[in-house]
Each structure stands twice: as C-alpha cells, then as structure tokens.
Structure 1
Amino acid sequence: MLEVSNVNTYIGKIKIIKNISLKIKAGEIVGLIGPNGAGKTTIMKTILGLTKFTGSITVGNRPVTETNHRALARVGALIEHPVIYPFLTGRQNLELYARNKRDLTQLVSTLQMDSYINNKAKGYSLGMKQKLGIAIALLNHPQLVILDEPMNGLDIEATIGVRKLIKRYADQGTAFLISSHILSELQKIMTQVVLITSGKIIVDQPIEEFNKTSKQKYKVLTEDNNRAMSLLQKEKIPFILKNNFLVIDQKNIFAIQDVLLKNNIHLQEILPLEASFEELVVNILDRERGKEDGR
C-alpha cells in the first residue's frame, strides 16, 4: 500500500529525514514513534508530497512527488491540527469531501458527533475538532490513512472509540501510519513498530517481535547474594543489584547458573522481568544516544 525507499527530506539545505525506507501493507497499523523533534511529522508530510525530498515514495504502486499527488486520491490524513472551515458546520465540512452520504452519517454516529455536527465548527472544543478531523480522514474508505497524534484532546471514552474505529477499518483492509505520544493506546492496535530518532529509523519490527525484547532480563535471588556478587564480579559477568535481588541479562543466565553451582550457592528464585512498552522504547533511545555520544 505504501513504499518509502531511501528518502531524504530537506528543510532549506538541512537534511531532516535521513535515508529512510519502510513498507506498509493493506490492513497493517504502523506506529511511528520517537522523541520530540525526531522527524515523525516531517516523514508524514513527505509521504503526502508536502516537502522537498529525494528517493522514492509510492502509494498503491503509483509515485508521489512534490508536483504529482494523484496517487494520494485514496489517502486520508490528519497532520498536526484538523484543517476545517470554522464558519461551516461540522456536517458541511464533511460534505466537502464525502462521496457517500451513508458513509458520512455512519462516521458522525460512530464518533458520537450527532449533538453538535450541525453547529458551526468555530465553536468546537479541541476534542470536537479532533473527531471532525479524524472523520474527514476516514471518509470514502481510504486505502491509506496517516494520523499525527489522533488522540490529542480526546477524553477516555472518545479515545477508546477512535481506537476501535481504526481497528475496524484496518480489518477491512485500510493501512494506517499513526504517530502518537500515547504509547499505551498505540500499543493496543499497532501491528508494526517504527522507532525514529534524529531523522533515522532505528527499529522497524512487527509488534510481536518487538515485545519479545521485554523479557530479556531476569531476576535472580540466591541464598547468599553478597558472595554471589563477588563471584560474578570476579568472572566479569554484569549484573545490577535491585531490591535485594540481582538483575541479569538473558544471555548470561546459563553462565551465572554455572558459577553458582560450581561454588555451591543455591538459587532461591529466577524469574523473567518484563519491561513495559514505554521502558523498552526509552532503553532503545538511550542506547542510540550512547552510540552517538561515543562517536
């Protein structure tokens, strides 16, 4: 549905996006995550042909360029802020883009906008504007939808509703590229993780594969932790002491068991420690910063 190959994006003469490549298939929900200023919104604008870039971008095997946007005919987008006409009603804003009245009515109902959809948009709250922007992006059953912070301004009930709506469209074959700082919500629906920092993609993995890294550390408790730590230091096996137990990497688990057995120290407990999605992201970003500092 979308293929980005070796794309560099420039603002003036400064390269913001650096040689990125990614693919999104029909029905996939790709979460684009990273710190502020990493280039998430710039990538989305580049895909929509709104910035100067080199490399190639195709949607449905049709090229996108700065001057040719025909491939975007079946692409819905919400970037930064909803683009709506304040002196038109919400319904009139939707009617500007809708090709099917039934589709429009269904989106209004699903997003629970019935009570204010006939009011002028200038009086809408942030959450109301956000839902209207999402509805515009989803009109006409697009092949690809690009959403930048779609949960911005939404209450809990609306957030759950939007999440279910995205999942329903994906089940029908719509591909999504979504950027959000609310990682707990994004984690519930995305099928692919793309992590970006400093304009570079450093992770591009299926969510199942990414989540496997959450159990790469183990909690170890022995009958004599002080003696065990001395032995591990002697053998140069890294560990962290935390709340009276040792934290070790999965790759060292067998080496530690061998050392303890050889020195007749009994294990009392050994359990995998599962990191949260947010902790995994932060750890990866910290490692990447460490590499950059090392250079």
Structure 2
Amino acid sequence: MLTVKQIDVYIGRKQIIKQVSFQVKPGEIVGLVGPNGAGKTTIMKTILGLTKFNGKITVNQQAITENHHAPLAKVGALIEHPAIYPFLTGLQNLQLYSQDPTDMRQLVTLLQMDAYINTKAKGYSLGMKQKLGIAIALLNQPDLVILDEPMNGLDVEATISIRKIIKQYAERGTAFLISSHVLSELQKVMTQVILINHGSMIVNQNVAAFNQRAQKQYQLNTVANAATTKLLQAHQLTFSKTKTGFLVPREEIFAIQDLLAAQQIHLKMLAPVQLNFEQIIVDLLERQRGREHEKTLS
C-alpha cells in the first residue's frame, strides 16, 4: 500500500530525515513513535507530497513527488490540526470532501457527532474538532489513512470509540500510519511499530517481536555503580542507567558477571524485569543516546 524507500529531507542545509525506509501493507496499523522533534510529522507530510525529499515514496505502486499527487486520491489524512472551516457547520465541512453522502452520514453516526454536526465548527470543543478531522480523513473509503496525534483532545469514551473504528477499517483492508504520544492507546491497535529519533529510524518491527524485548532485560545493581559503568563501557556491553543501577540484556548477563567477578565488584541485585511498552521505548532511546555519546567521545 505504502512504500517509503531511503528518504532524506532537508530544511535549508540541515538534514531532518535520514535514510528512512519502511512499508505499510493493506490492513496494517503502523505506529510511528518517538520524542518531540524526532521527525514523525515531517515524515507524514513528506508522504503527502508537502515536503521536498530525496528517495522514493509510492502509494499503490504509484510514485509520489512534489508535483505529482494523483496517487493520494485514496489517502485520508489528519496532520497536526484538523483542516476545518470555522464558519461552516460540521456537515458542510464534510460535504466539501465527501463523494458518497451515505458513507458521510455513516461516519457522522459512527463517530457520534449527530448532536452537533449541524452547528458551526467555530463553537466546537477541541475533542469535537478532532473527531471531525478524523471523519474527514476517513471519508470516501480510503486505502491508506495517515493520522498525526488522533487522540489529542479526546476524552476516554471518544478514545475507545476511535480505537474501535480504526480496527474496523483495518479489518476491511484500510492501512493506517499513526503517530501518537499516547503510547498506551497506540499499543492497543498497532500491528507494527516504527521508532524514530533525530530523523533516523531505530526500530521497525511487528508488535509481537517488539514486545519480546520486554522479557530480555535484567535489573543490575552493584556495590560500585560508577566503576561498573566504566567497565561496561570499556567492554562495549549494552546497558542503560536507572535510578538504582542498570538495565542490561539477558544475553549478556554471564559476560557481565564474569567481568564484575574479575574486578572484585560484588552484586547487590540481579533480577529479571518486565518492561511495559513506554519503558521499552525509553530504554531504546537511552541506548541510542549512549551510542551517540560514545561516538562523540571517540
């Protein structure tokens, strides 16, 4: 459905996106995650032909360029803020984009907007505007939907509703690319996770494989954590710091124990840790920062 191949994006001379490649297949819900400024929105804008880029992007095997947007005819999007005309009613906003009145009315009901859809959008709350923006993105049975922070401003009930709708559309074959800071909600719908930081892709895995990382961490604490840090760095072993010690991968436990014993550094604690989704993301980002710091020092 969507193929992004080795794209680079520059703003002036500064490179914002660096050699990013991934695919989104029909029915997949791909989560694009990363800290503020990582490049998530820029990637989405680039796919929509709103940003100059080097590399190749195709939708349904048709190339997207800055001047060729025809393949986007079956792509729905909500980027940053809903594109709503405030002095039109919600229904009039939908009619600007709708090609099928029946589909439009079904979306109004599905998103529970009947009570206010005929009032002017200027009086809408943030959550109401967000639902209208999502409705616009879902109009006309799109093949691909790109949503940037779709849960922004939604209450718990609306968030659950949107999550169900995304799953319903995906079951019909609609592909989704979604960025969100509400990782707990994104985790409940996505089938693939892409982690971006500083414009580079750190992880691109299906959710099952990604979640296996949760069982591969150990909490380590010693009588001399400062000396342990230097020792792990000197032997290029993977670790991230915690408030009380370190997180280390399971496969390196024996090597770490041997090194500590050789230096007569005694263990205070060594125990498996079950990380949640947010903790895995934080751990991966901390590891990347550690690698970048080591490169800077070298």
Give 2:148's aligned residue: 148
Give 2:263's aligned residue: none
- Alignment partners' CA distance in 1, 2:128 and 2:2: 30
Letter in 1 for 2:76: G
The reply to whether residue 162 of structure 1 matches residue 162 of structure 2 is yes
- SS of residue paired to 2:56: strand
- Alignment partners' CA distance in 1, 2:64 and 2:218: 47
- SS of residue paired to 2:93: helix
The reply to whether residue 13 of structure 1 matches residue 13 of structure 2 is yes
- Alignment partners' CA distance in 2, 1:95 and 1:120: 14
Letter in 2 for 1:35: P
- Alignment partners' CA distance in 1, 2:8 and 2:248: 40
Where do 5+ consecutive residues of structure 2 fail to align? 259-269
Comparing 93-102 with 179-188, greater Cα deviation is found at: 93-102
- Alignment partners' CA distance in 2, 1:246 and 1:27: 39
- Alignment partners' CA distance in 1, 2:205 and 2:246: 30
The reply to whether residue 116 of structure 1 matches residue 123 of structure 2 is no
Alignment of 1:4-83 (within 5 A): 4-83=4-83
- Alignment partners' CA distance in 2, 1:254 and 1:292: 26
Aligned positions, number: 276
Give 2:204's aligned residue: 204
Cα displacement (A) at 1:164: 0.5
CA RMSD of aligned residues (A): 2.8
Larger radius of gyration between Structure 1 and Structure 2: 1
Comparing 164-173 with 245-254, greater Cα deviation is found at: 245-254
- SS of residue paired to 1:141: coil
Give 2:267's aligned residue: none
Give 2:190's aligned residue: 190
Letter in 1 for 2:171: D
* Residue-by-residue CA offset, 1:189-229 (whole Å, 9 max, x unaligned): 00001000000101000010000000112479xxxx99xx9
- Alignment partners' CA distance in 2, 1:104 and 1:244: 55
Give 1:265's aligned residue: none
Where do 5+ consecutive residues of structure 1 fail to align? 259-269
- Alignment partners' CA distance in 1, 2:37 and 2:144: 24
Report the TM-score when normalising by structure 2.
0.84
Cα displacement (A) at 1:255: 7.2
* Residue-by-residue CA offset, 1:166-200 (whole Å, 9 max, x unaligned): 01100100000000000000000000010000001
Give 2:278's aligned residue: 278
Cα displacement (A) at 1:137: 0.1
Cα displacement (A) at 1:123: 0.7
- Alignment partners' CA distance in 2, 1:144 and 1:136: 13
Alignment of 1:236-251 (within 5 A): 249-251=249-251
The reply to whether residue 84 of structure 1 matches residue 69 of structure 2 is no
- Alignment partners' CA distance in 2, 1:135 and 1:80: 15
Alignment of 1:261-276 (within 5 A): 272-276=272-276
* Residue-by-residue CA offset, 1:89-131 (whole Å, 9 max, x unaligned): 0001111111111111111111111100000111111100000
Give 1:99's aligned residue: 99
Comparing 272-281 with 159-168, greater Cα deviation is found at: 272-281
- Alignment partners' CA distance in 2, 1:49 and 1:29: 21
- Alignment partners' CA distance in 2, 1:209 and 1:194: 12
